[in-house]
Structures are given as structure tokens and as C-alpha cells.
């Protein structure tokens, strides 16, 4: 049996294709690690059961908590 994984996930960045200059991106992120980029408001949080890849057919919403 695979070990149980309990995680929290938030996507901060998505790419359409792999970055062509990964070392430059890493340097840019490192240089801005303490910069405040603003805030985001969330209307709800979901607790889901899923597979590692978050395939749509495998995602099951177990609970949803409205915040607003």
C-alpha cells in the first residue's frame, strides 16, 4: 500500500510549455522572494480526494467551505 499523503496545494504559476531559460526564472524568483505582490480573496475552499495528477475523472469533492 502506498503511504497516505495529506497536502495543501495552491498553484502560483502555470506554463503553456516548459520555460526555455529555467536558471533565469529561478534567479528571478529568488530575487523577488520577499516582494509582496498583493492579495487574493478566496470565496471557498474544497477538500478533495484525487489521484496524483488531479485527473478530472478521479477528483471527488468531499467538502466545500464557503468563506464569503
Written as tens digits, the pLDDT of the chain (68 aa) is 566 666 677 777 788 888 899 999 999 999 999 999 888 888 888 888 887 777 788 888 999 999 98
pLDDT for residue 5? 63
- Domain boundaries along the sequence of the chain: 41-68
The DSSP code sequence of 13-24 is: ---SS--TTHHH
Whole-model pTM: value is 0.45
State the Cα–Cα distance between residues 28 and 19, nearest whole angstrom. Answer: 13
Amino acid at each position: 500500500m502506498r503511504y497516505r499523503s495529506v497536502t495543501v496545494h495552491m498553484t502560483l504559476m502555470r506554463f503553456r510549455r516548459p520555460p526555455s531559460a529555467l536558471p533565469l526564472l529561478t534567479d528571478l524568483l529568488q530575487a523577488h522572494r520577499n516582494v509582496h505582490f498583493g492579495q487574493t480573496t478566496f470565496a471557498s475552499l474544497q477538500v478533495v480526494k484525487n489521484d496524483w495528477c488531479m485527473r478530472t475523472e478521479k477528483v471527488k469533492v468531499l467538502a466545500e467551505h464557503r468563506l464569503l
